[in-house]
Amino acid sequence: MASASSVAPATPRVGAGVHPWVRFGVRRLGRLLVSLWVLVTASFLMIHLIPGDPVRGALGPTAPASLVAAKREAMGLDDPILVQYWHYLQGLFTGDLGTSLISQLPVSQIVSQRLPATLQLALLAFLVAVAVAVPVGVSLGVLTRAGHGRRTELVFTTGSVVLGTVPDFLLGVGLVYVFGVQLDWLPVAGNDSASAYVLPVLALAIGPAAILARIVRVEMVAVLEADFVRTARAKRLPRRTIYLGHALPNALTASLTLGGLFLSSMVAGTVLVENVFAWPGLGSTIVSSILTKDYQVVQAVVLVYGVGVLLVNTLVDVALALLDPRSTIRED
């Protein structure tokens, strides 16, 4: 394979005439669309994969058969599956997500009421995690570059593994106990005041921040050993230029490649954290809906979460392409 791979970069490829950014955009969009389709189909199939009759399950064994039949009729569950699929897709395009079996409210209304709180939580946690992780990771990377700070490295690595392992809901429970029950400093439920944001955001951000900081440190250490850093030293540039100008962009691209998944996992992390803090968002909605078997709502919320994850992943890819000029070519 050696010769084939060394041939490749020098030889023109498909669509070489097109600007690489256009090629990148088309490819990335294609991937997003395929993933979206899989997501939509999976959420559609979810109801059909549930053993037994979902309507009967939701209304309970005591509900009259006529009511169940009427509901099935209204939801179109008696139509052929492809027809249902078609209606489902149509509904999605017109913003119609069906009606809740339990509350009788339009699902789209429930989602739009609940979405902002979840978005706020996820976005804030994301910003906090990145704002903490990058400077911490970079400075520790410089401090623990090869041959330096063995002890610092051990303490930091152990600490970040521990913090990264503690699941957000346990962290949440711990924070509730310390700051709510013991100290009574901060509110532990709802999102009525600014101070109510502190604990949920911390519970959500600390784990990913620890993991991300660890990744940034490892990448920084690796980049500081790269040949091009030696070149920068051979040019006798000042330390700051070497660290921030040469090492940092490369460390960030590598970190983002590895850490992108953790960022999108924060979107889903809201599910558990919201339940600890009684946060009026989608996370508490989905759990209560699963327990009450309100499958129409579950379906819609799964879809919204999935779309959120896909958007974050796409953003990470675009950021990577901006940071690293090779990534548009690396695509395949």
Partner 1 sequence: MTSLRFDDVTVRYGTTTAVDGVSLTVPSGQVVGLVGESGSGKSTLARAAVGLAPVHGGSILLGGEPVPTRGRHRPLQMVFQDPYSSLDPRMSIGESIAEAIPPGSSRAERRAEVERLLELVHLDPGRSAALPARLSGGQRQRVALARALAGRPEVVVADEITSALDVSIQGAVLNLVRELQAELGLSMLFISHNLAVVRYVASHVAVMHQGRIVEQGPTDRVLAQPDHDYTRALLAAVPGRRSTS
Partner 2 sequence: MQRWKSVLRTPLGLTATILTLAVLVLAVVAPMLWTGDADAVDTDNILSGPSAEHWAGTDNLGRDIFFRTLVATRLSVELALAATAIAVAVGLVLGTASFLLGRRSGRLVTAGINIAVAFPGILLALFFAVVFGVGATGAVLAIGIAGAPMFGRLTQTLVAGVEARDYVAAARVAGVGRVRILLRHVLPNIAEPLVINATIGAGGALLSFAGLSFLGLGVQQPSYDWGRLLFDGITSIYVNPAAALAPGAAVLLAGLALNLLGESAAKALGVGVVGGIPALPAVARVAPAEPVAEGAGHEGSDLVLDVRDLEVTFPGPTGPIRPVRGVTFAVRRGEAVGIVGESGSGKSLTALAVSRLVAETGRVDAERLELLGHDLRGPDTRAQRRLLGTSLAMVFQDPMTSFNPTRRIGGQLAEVSRHHHGLDRRAALGRAVDRLRAVRISDPERRARQYPHEFSGGMRQRAMIGMGLMGSPALVVADEPTTALDVTVQQQVLDLLAAIREQDDVALVLISHDVAVVAQVCDRVLVMYAGRIVEDLPAADLHTAARHPYTRALAAAVPDMETDLDQPLAVIPGRPVDPADVPVGCAYAARCPLATARCREQDPPLEIDAAGRRVACWHPGESPESGIDELGSLAEVEAS
User: Among 42, 59, 92, 186, which residue sits at the site for partner 2 (rule: CB under 8 A)?
Assistant: 42
CA distances from 281 to 110, 145, 205, 270, 285 (A): 10, 43, 17, 9, 7
> Which entry of partner 2, partner 1, none binds 82, CB below 5 to 8 A by partner kind?
none
CA pair distance 315, 293, nearest whole angstrom: 34
Residue 216, burial from CB neighbour count under 10 angstroms (0-12, 13-18, 19+): buried
Q: Using the rule CB under 8 A, is 138 a contact of partner 2?
A: no
Looking at beta carbons only, is 137 or 269 nearer to partner 2?
269
Q: Using the rule CB under 8 A, is 17 a contact of partner 1?
A: no
DSSP lists the bridge partners of residue 106 as 99
Residue 48, burial from CB neighbour count under 10 angstroms (0-12, 13-18, 19+): exposed
Minimum distance, C-beta of residue 12 to partner 1, in the bound complex (Å): 8
Minimum distance, C-beta of residue 65 to partner 2, in the bound complex (Å): 22
Of 212-241, which residues contact partner 1 (CB under 8 A)? none
Binding residues for partner 2, rule CB under 8 A, total 79
Minimum distance, C-beta of residue 82 to partner 2, in the bound complex (Å): 20
User: Which range of residues in 10-18, 235-243, 264-272, 321-329 is near partner 1 by CB under 8 A?
Assistant: 10-18
Q: Using the rule CB under 8 A, is 4 a contact of partner 1?
A: yes
Contact present, 205 and 125 (Cβ < 8 Å): yes
Q: How many residues belong to the chain? A: 332
Q: Using the rule CB under 8 A, is 7 a contact of partner 1?
A: yes
User: Among 35, 103, 108, 139, which residue sits at the site for partner 2 (rule: CB under 8 A)?
Assistant: 35
Contact present, 277 and 284 (Cβ < 8 Å): no
> Which entry of partner 2, partner 1, none binds 298, CB below 5 to 8 A by partner kind?
partner 2
Residues 6+ apart with CB under 8 A from 150: 144
> Which entry of partner 1, partner 2, none binds 271, CB below 5 to 8 A by partner kind?
partner 2
The amino acid present at 198, given as its one-letter code, is V
Q: Using the rule CB under 8 A, is 151 a contact of partner 2?
A: no
27: its two tokens: 């490819």
Minimum distance, C-beta of residue 269 to partner 1, in the bound complex (Å): 40
The amino acid present at 103, given as its one-letter code, is S
Q: Using the rule CB under 8 A, is 222 a contact of partner 2?
A: no
CA pair distance 8, 259, nearest whole angstrom: 29
Looking at beta carbons only, is 16 or 82 nearer to partner 1?
16
> Which entry of partner 2, partner 1, none binds 13, CB below 5 to 8 A by partner kind?
partner 1
